[in-house]
Amino acid sequence: MVLPAKLSTDGLPIVVILQIGDDIASASKRNLVRVRLSPSTLDLLNAVETRLNGKLLTAKEKDGSGGWTFFSPNSCWYRVGDNEFDFRLLDGSEVGSDPVQVVAVDVLVRYND
């Protein structure tokens, strides 16, 4: 899936594949996933469910002004190669007339010294 990607209101997820070349599980001290929603949907930060390789992510922090949601998944949830991020609107979310879009996904890693 190419970003930005519009979330469907029918509850079906969109899937974003992110290639990771490093073995994060064995090499990282800390990792952080950042997901950015389109600015027009900042009030819906709580209405988007995010999964990494099938594991539900719980938000650690949200930046309502920039649209970023931050997650700190367990390092062993990552794979070397394709990593699947699934995004879906929670049932009953009021989206209004503007579509909810996932604009960016990135993984920041701090390696062990």
Over residues 80-102, the pLDDT tens digits come to: 999 999 999 887 666 666 778 88
Kindly report the pTM of this predicted structure.
Answer: 0.85
SS3 42: helix
Residue 39 has pLDDT above 60, yes or no: no
Which one-letter DSSP state was computed for residue 4?
A: S
CATH number among 2.60.120.260, 3.30.360.30, 2.60.120.1200, 3.40.50.2300, domain 5-111: 2.60.120.1200
Cα–Cα dist 100/113, whole Å: 40
Would you state the pLDDT for residue 17? Answer: 94
Between CA 106 and CA 14, with CA 27 as vertex, the angle to 5 degrees is 30
